[in-house]
Amino acid sequence: MQIYKKQIHFNALSVLMVVTAFLLFVFPNSFRPVKLVLLLLIFLVGLTKVQTIEKVVIFSVILSMIVTIIYLMVGIHQSLNPSEALSQVLIVYIFTPILWVVILNYCFEKFKVETIVKYLNIYMVLGAVSVFVAIWLFMNGKRQILELIIEDPNMTFTKKGIVEMKLFVYGSLIFFIPAFLQLEKVFKRKAIYFVVILTVVIAAIVSGRSALLLSVFVGLFFYVVTNSSVKLIRYFIIGLLLTVVLIFILNSYGVNVLNVLEGFYVKIFEGGDKARSEQTMALIKGVNNNIFGAGHGVGVDYIRSKKFPWRYENVPVAIIYRVSIFGFLIYSIPFLYSVYKYVSIKIKNPYDHYMLAGIVSMLIATFTNPYLESFEFNIFYVLPFIYFVKRDKDFQ
């Protein structure tokens, strides 16, 4: 009878985690009250069940907390909205990392890496499909359904055949897509691998988001660097065939791939977004005037958000402005450690490539969007860190 009860408990907890992860990755920034309750339940279970949290993780969290508290005290009295700044900084820089450290430690102790990544791939596909569903709902007058997951949903379809739609799932896909591209060796049935790639790349193109499209190129570049030339020739031919199919499918729906790529080029390489370049220049000026850090909750002369006047889309430069280059390096420990461990592994497996490609893509995206300052997307910063910490036993 006790064994039966334990099995029921295990299954119930597993279902809870699967449902929570679905809401987290497919509908980020939506249903937050529900997600917070579910995550706190998993956090409490993880806190009681987790076997070990490695010293490097504890060291990183403690140093990060010290930096955050110091620069909160430095900046809070200068903030234009001190009460909001205090709550936001505590949530993003202290509560959120602790939450993910405990939950992810528990996940990697409870499940195999293969199982975790398998489910992440499922959420990626569901996230990509949600893009098509959202576009269909908007074009068929079902805006009220979209309002359940996003405030003030909108979509544009230009005469040049470029679709742009506001959705939060793009943040998840920025990590998932380049990471998934590294898993070719995991799939015995290569057809499934290429069909999934075709699906997610189409989603990236129709999203109209340059950061998401850039993540595809980051993933491809990472794949090229980590694979042999013989395979590259074979997959180059397959890639050309997939490109033809992709263009045909998109053109049939009025989406012009060449115009999408042209718009992408203008935004990335020609500074097409004037607001982002202006805020970056203002932040650089702020860094020069505050080499020891201006403090958390403090913005520069250029205000991007009236509600959060200290937040900017160029997160790395904004962090340097707030906490100095020293504080920035402290916050960078999870990434630096992940890179160090990745380089240290003599015989790398696809999951090593998966984690590093995903985090690199996400960090590149933070130069144009404050993804990691959302508690949902912050998981993508902690996930590779915990993976590489737990990966020690597999080093050769």
Distance CA(110)–CA(239), nearest Å, equals 37
331 close to 111: Cβ distance less than 8 angstroms: no
Helix (H) or strand (E) segment spanning residue 302:
none
What's the pTM? 0.88
Residue 1 has pLDDT above 50, yes or no: no
Question: What would the pLDDT profile of 238-289 be if each residue is shown by its tens digit?
Answer: 666 666 566 655 555 555 555 555 565 455 544 456 677 788 889 999 999 9
SS3 360: helix
**Residue 353: pLDDT band with limits 50, 70, 90:** very high
The residue-averaged pLDDT of 385-390 equals 96
Contacts of 310 (CB under 8 A, 6+ apart): 75, 79, 80, 85, 296, 297, 298, 299, 322
The residue-averaged pLDDT of 211-222 equals 88
**268 burial type by CB count under 10 A (0-12 exposed, 13-18 middle, 19+ buried):** middle
**Residue 73: pLDDT band with limits 50, 70, 90:** very high
Q: Please give the pLDDT value at position 145.
A: 86
Q: Please give the pLDDT value at position 138.
A: 84
**Count of CB atoms situated within 10 Å of the CB of 174:** 30
Q: Please give the pLDDT value at position 266.
A: 55
Closest by CA position to 314, among listed 268, 375, 366: 366
Instruction: Report DSSP state, residue 288.
Output: H
Q: Please give the pLDDT value at position 92.
A: 93
Distance CA(210)–CA(201), nearest Å, equals 12
Q: Please give the pLDDT value at position 179.
A: 97
Instruction: Report DSSP state, residue 92.
Output: I
393 close to 365: Cβ distance less than 8 angstroms: no
The residue-averaged pLDDT of 352-380 equals 93
Residue 339 has pLDDT above 90, yes or no: yes
Distance CA(144)–CA(354), nearest Å, equals 37
Distances (CA, A) of 161 to 136, 169, 198, 337: 16, 22, 19, 43
389 close to 54: Cβ distance less than 8 angstroms: yes
**65 burial type by CB count under 10 A (0-12 exposed, 13-18 middle, 19+ buried):** middle
Question: What would the pLDDT profile of 164-181 be if each residue is shown by its tens digit?
Answer: 777 889 999 999 999 999
Distance CA(44)–CA(62), nearest Å, equals 20
378 close to 372: Cβ distance less than 8 angstroms: yes
Contacts of 80 (CB under 8 A, 6+ apart): 299, 309, 310
Residue 222 half-sphere exposure, CB side, CA atoms within 13 Å?
A: 25
Q: Which long-range contacts (CB under 8 A, 24 or more apart) does 160-163 make?
A: 160/256, 160/259, 160/263, 161/254, 161/255, 161/256, 161/259, 161/260, 162/208, 162/255, 162/256, 162/259, 162/260, 162/263, 163/135, 163/206, 163/207, 163/208, 163/255
Distance CA(66)–CA(110), nearest Å, equals 31
Residue 68 has pLDDT above 90, yes or no: yes
**Residue 2: pLDDT band with limits 50, 70, 90:** very low
Residue 86 has pLDDT above 70, yes or no: yes
Q: Please give the pLDDT value at position 316.
A: 93
Q: Please give the pLDDT value at position 5.
A: 44
The residue-averaged pLDDT of 93-111 equals 94
Question: What would the pLDDT profile of 234-250 be if each residue is shown by its tens digit?
Answer: 666 666 666 656 665 55
Question: What would the pLDDT profile of 118-148 be if each residue is shown by its tens digit?
Answer: 999 999 999 999 998 988 888 888 888 888 8
**Residue 391: pLDDT band with limits 50, 70, 90:** confident
Question: What would the pLDDT profile of 7-53 be if each residue is shown by its tens digit?
Answer: 444 578 889 999 999 999 999 988 999 999 999 999 999 998 877 88
Our CA angle for 246, 365, 20, nearest 5°, is 85
